[in-house]
Structure 1
């Protein structure tokens, strides 16, 4: 029997299971760069406009830290820089996909069942990586095709698309390696995300500081250094395959030398007896959610520091461009450019916080599918109490992370304009104003889980639609009825001198109704979901 026997069948199984999940992140990420290019053509029609924008961007270390360097004044160069942060999202998506189809399958016991048949030693890891590589390739090709369709040169578009593909390939392989190091899927995700955070920190320090060599140490910095549309340096694209081979050379031997279900790192043993905090469902939910909440809060805090530091210069960089001023005003709700920028970026933070809310709400489904909920509910634990214990984090988690974001943003922006007492409360309120819209997505997740649990992951499609409407709506000037489908459209513009809190109450009531219907359905249906 070959070491790869059964790989083809596992690939088909993964594609079958991910037929909804993969398009949910591949298609939106492929569309966004094309929309960036289209908007730059419209907003900066002359070379002088583009030069002024590029110069303002290059002088702002916060923007460079977040997006990466800008290497030219063409629409292509501006588009490549604007899509710099997308590489972080792509890296995270491919890393989590690889972990889900390796360590998660092993932890759930499904891999052991398959391995009892005719399955080669390397088949499981290879199948997971092949599917993730193929998704990355498709993403890169669609991205390049979209950029060409937007009117950008073919060579630069291909260079950018290859950078996207190879970034995904590197971090997919990193996810495959992380899956070999620990016996839990959560631990593997933690190791992978920590490595991604280190890569982002190296890229940030190299791009925003005086030590550019640090960016060459980060896989997130290689795609930008290909310099799409500005004299492409194709040789840089040799670095990601080299890193992929090095990571795979470690991951594959570990996958067969360790015991099934075990990891290279020894498990951290807990106490022999459970503490008082674990005597109820809320204590167990806290144990399950606390690490995720901590790291989301840290990440949002760092993001807020960067966004607040960039606000003042971002407002100056678009001054005099009426089209861009109009778009920022529609997204941020005010004609003051710095405040419009802050409103727009905090709206993006709200969308990201909704992602946390959805993830926390869907933890109930994963607990039930893994068979851990049924034994717990067989005790004196009531269904309502168990669901409420997870719902607490789906509702309070966005409050925490958006409060951290608003506080950090207000602090750094207040320092830049020398008015911390005045700006910090305003931006803290603007961050918290995004919470009810995030609650609506959490309520929708609970509704689907309670009534149609197999369809619960479709809430990610609803979140993706909100992202696309929020990002593309102001640029494409979509009809208002279409924009109104997103709950974030109804979030009031808190940075305006006068604003109405009625939409916040309406969104909160909607979220409560959705969650209540979901709870009713959960109490009446059978377990497990199978």
Structure 2
């Protein structure tokens, strides 16, 4: 009897003179290639938002009364919670309007991007075991994390450069434009560093994303409380990284030193993340998952229960956050009526509000915002099915007595119900705020009806996301392009003189507004038919194509 001696395992090749950062730039190039479409959309979103808003602000610059009316609105408590501390309102200029009204939302947008990118290329890679394969090559221990941070930094810098170009190109001061854009980028990077710390704490990407988003929500709340306590913010405001960008006072009284707070915070968070990473096992988190039940509850059996467990926390916080924001907006409805003349005479607001009552038209626009927020949630929730397939979990689910149609139907059912909840809670919050403000120009029923009429259009977005997932999974980002186009058509179609055929591409263009005119149910029925066709196509396509395996 002979014995066969196994050859010793080959050691992973290491680069000559390799360090813990070996392979960083190779991973940077890989991430940029892998996420090129995603990063391109994020990089263009903020500059385009600046460009669209500047078209409104520069038009209003010729109307001093309209600008001051806008400044008065910005100083109301509800608007302070949605914008910022309100600098330069005594002499409201285009620059002051940009700084006061846009910085908060630009920070939130880039913060979400930074959080998602950091978690995607750190905790999610460990959870899927891809990071283990990468580290088996000539890659240093810290290279994956550093490469993810470098990419996020590069994207934020690119956005800052493009934003500066847009702002300067519209006649704003170059130095203030650079300062504001860098302040926004640094505040967003702070939340990216927070996401890196969260990725060391929890074992799952959903947990890391949830903790990071909770930190972002807490920062928003602290900034709101601080700005409402005192004019231009109290000490509570300074606890929020969001406030650091706003407190630079671009275009009003520029000061650079608040940006140093973001730099220090980023450095501290990176050191903390490094220390935590050295104290945990690879692939695990500092806080281990608690053991679950040996047997699942009867209510958790089936694909619908699984999808619900995966989406319930995101639905809870999205619905609650948007409902509170729209409630705050509803409380200023009665103040809009006092500015009827100055708003109606402004060409931009005339294009947005139409020829009817300004208060009713204003409420219609806020209902539109609520519907856009619900559409964004619906797209994210619908594309959760693609994430499950990319992670290789769909093949395991389909290996059980679960058909493809039942699995996809579970995702679409929970997504549709969640989208409905987000829209209804937002509209009810807006209606409750308007009623609490004591306005008599719109009723609770009118606001609710206006919101519910958007349901067929939302079904079109969900159906399109599902159809793209079923037939062309790599083209699912097209649904986001449709949402961006819908925003453009809904807000600036008249301002940009878009032809009717271009407006008809937007699902929201077909939604009637009971606040400003009669309701024609014909287009609503058409949207329902389109949504039904897209859902049927999704089921047919998913049954015909191969499921990706790992």
TM-score of the superposed pair, with normalisation by structure 1: 0.95
CA distance in 2, matches of 1:468, 1:187: 34
> Is 1:429 matched up with 2:429?
no
- The residue that corresponds to 2:527 in the other structure is 507
CA distance in 2, matches of 1:162, 1:317: 35
Q: Residues 113 and 401 of structure 1: is their aligned pair in 2 closer, same or farther, counting only changes over 3 Å? A: same
Q: Residues 307 and 477 of structure 1: is their aligned pair in 2 closer, same or farther, counting only changes over 3 Å? A: farther
Flag structure 2 segments of 5+ consecutive residues without an equivalent: 1-17
- The residue that corresponds to 1:276 in the other structure is 298
Cα contact 1:362–1:445 (8 A) shared by 2: yes
- The residue that corresponds to 1:24 in the other structure is 41
Structure 2 counterparts to residues 360-371 of structure 1, below 5 A: 360-371=381-392
Q: Secondary structure at the match of 1:2?
A: coil
Q: Residues 53 and 368 of structure 1: is their aligned pair in 2 closer, same or farther, counting only changes over 3 Å? A: closer
Cα contact 1:122–1:255 (8 A) shared by 2: no
Q: Secondary structure at the match of 1:368?
A: helix
Match of 1:5 among 22, 30, 34: 22
> Is 1:14 matched up with 2:28?
no
* More divergent stretch after superposition (455-464 vs 504-513): 455-464
* More divergent stretch after superposition (478-487 vs 238-247): 478-487
CA distance in 2, matches of 1:242, 1:475: 43
- The residue that corresponds to 2:538 in the other structure is 518
Q: Post-superposition shift, 1:356?
A: 1.1
Q: Secondary structure at the match of 2:141?
A: coil
CA distance in 2, matches of 1:332, 1:436: 23
- The residue that corresponds to 1:61 in the other structure is 77
Match of 1:382 among 386, 392, 403: 403
* More divergent stretch after superposition (129-138 vs 75-84): 75-84
CA distance in 1, matches of 2:478, 2:129: 25
CA distance in 2, matches of 1:492, 1:332: 14
- The residue that corresponds to 1:218 in the other structure is 240
Q: Deviations over 1:434-490 (max 9, x none)?
A: 222221111111111111122223322222222333344344333332222211122
Q: Deviations over 1:197-249 (max 9, x none)?
A: 00000111111223621111111111111111112011121111111111111
Q: Which is greater in Rg?
A: 2
Flag structure 1 segments of 5+ consecutive residues without an equivalent: none
Q: Post-superposition shift, 1:17?
A: 1.1
Match of 1:75 among 94, 105, 115: 94
Cα contact 1:346–1:431 (8 A) shared by 2: yes
CA distance in 2, matches of 1:143, 1:473: 23
CA distance in 2, matches of 1:378, 1:215: 52
CA distance in 2, matches of 1:93, 1:323: 38
- The residue that corresponds to 1:304 in the other structure is 326
- The residue that corresponds to 2:513 in the other structure is 493
- The residue that corresponds to 1:170 in the other structure is 190
Number of residue pairs aligned between Structure 1 and Structure 2: 527
Q: Residues 46 and 498 of structure 1: is their aligned pair in 2 closer, same or farther, counting only changes over 3 Å? A: closer
Q: Post-superposition shift, 1:529?
A: 6.1
Q: Post-superposition shift, 1:315?
A: 4.3
* More divergent stretch after superposition (327-336 vs 355-364): 327-336
CA distance in 2, matches of 1:318, 1:139: 37
- The residue that corresponds to 1:98 in the other structure is 118
- The residue that corresponds to 2:155 in the other structure is 135
Q: Secondary structure at the match of 1:476?
A: coil
CA distance in 1, matches of 2:69, 2:300: 59
Q: Post-superposition shift, 1:301?
A: 1.2
Q: Residues 64 and 357 of structure 1: is their aligned pair in 2 closer, same or farther, counting only changes over 3 Å? A: same
Q: Residues 160 and 479 of structure 1: is their aligned pair in 2 closer, same or farther, counting only changes over 3 Å? A: farther
Q: Post-superposition shift, 1:322?
A: 3.3
Q: Secondary structure at the match of 1:20?
A: helix
- The residue that corresponds to 1:41 in the other structure is 58
- The residue that corresponds to 1:121 in the other structure is 141
- Which 4+ residue blocks in structure 1 deviate beyond 4 angstroms? 326-334
Cα contact 2:74–2:83 (8 A) shared by 1: no
* More divergent stretch after superposition (10-19 vs 426-435): 426-435
Q: Residues 493 and 98 of structure 1: is their aligned pair in 2 closer, same or farther, counting only changes over 3 Å? A: same
Q: Residues 395 and 385 of structure 1: is their aligned pair in 2 closer, same or farther, counting only changes over 3 Å? A: same
Q: Secondary structure at the match of 2:188?
A: helix
Q: Which has the higher helix share?
A: 1
CA distance in 2, matches of 1:63, 1:316: 16
Q: Post-superposition shift, 1:333?
A: 6.0
Q: Post-superposition shift, 1:523?
A: 0.5
Q: Post-superposition shift, 1:323?
A: 5.1
Q: Deviations over 1:250-300 (max 9, x none)?
A: 112222321111111221322111111232111112111211211111112
Q: Post-superposition shift, 1:135?
A: 0.6
Q: Residues 77 and 437 of structure 1: is their aligned pair in 2 closer, same or farther, counting only changes over 3 Å? A: same
Structure 2 counterparts to residues 394-413 of structure 1, below 5 A: 394-413=415-434
Output the aligned Cα RMSD.
Answer: 1.9
Q: Deviations over 1:26-62 (max 9, x none)?
A: 202112123222311212314444234213322x110
Cα contact 1:57–1:314 (8 A) shared by 2: no
Match of 1:147 among 156, 159, 167: 167
TM-score of the superposed pair, with normalisation by structure 2: 0.92
